[in-house]
């Protein structure tokens, strides 16, 4: 849960044990709108598409999340990128036809709140089987 205002994403990852990060903004309409703005502001759309449907990197809207779709894993992937995430013991659980390594954004996105906002927006574009939703 976000409790320290302005904590950097990397500091948040270091402070919270694996599996314990949970998005406080999942159903917050204001934060979802802000998350879409952060998504475009950080140019996530350049790789994942304007609507999150994919492009040169995997889509964010379907059921396939390469390392897992839980809040904790996605927060760490955005923050650390593929290489650091794998060094922490995460492994691929799904495959996409379009794959590329996720670069780390933990030094570019200044606050953990902004990462949570992006993830909150991502949850709204999910178009997979609702039974497979795990957040």
Q: What totals of helices (H) and strands (E) does the chain contain, helices first?
A: 5, 0
Q: What's residue 4's pLDDT?
A: 55
Domains contained in the chain, CATH given: 27-129 (1.10.760.10)
- Per-residue model confidence (pLDDT) at position 20: 96
The Cα–Cα gap between 103 and 83 comes to 8
The pLDDT score that the predictor gives to residue 118 is 98
In the prediction, which pLDDT does 127 show?
Answer: 87
Provide the pLDDT for residue 94. Answer: 80
Q: What pLDDT was estimated at residue 65? A: 87
- Positions of the chain with pLDDT under 70: 1-5, 98-99, 134-135
Q: What pLDDT, on the 0 to 100 scale, is given for residue 5?
A: 53
Query: 66 Cβ partners below 8 Å, 6+ apart?
Result: 58, 92, 93, 94, 95, 96, 99
What would the two tokens of residue 54 be? 């994919």
The predicted pLDDT at position 119 comes to 96
Q: Could you give the 3-state DSSP secondary structure of residue 129?
A: coil
């Amino acid at each position: 849960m976000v409790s320290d205002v302005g904590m950097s994403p990397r500091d948040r990852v270091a402070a919270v044990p694996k599996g314990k990060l949970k998005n406080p903004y999942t159903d917050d309409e204001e934060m979802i709108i802000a998350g879409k703005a952060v998504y475009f502001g950080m140019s996530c759309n350049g790789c994942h598409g304007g609507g999150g449907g994919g492009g040169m990197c995997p889509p964010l809207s379907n059921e396939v999340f390469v390392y897992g779709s839980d809040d904790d894993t996605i927060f760490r992937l955005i923050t650390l990128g593929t290489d650091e995430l794998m060094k922490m013991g995460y492994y691929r659980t799904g495959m996409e036809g379009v794959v590329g390594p996720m670069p780390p954004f933990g030094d570019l996105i200044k606050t953990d709140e902004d990462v949570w906002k992006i993830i909150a927006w991502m949850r709204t574009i999910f178009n997979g089987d609702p039974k497979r939703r795990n957040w």
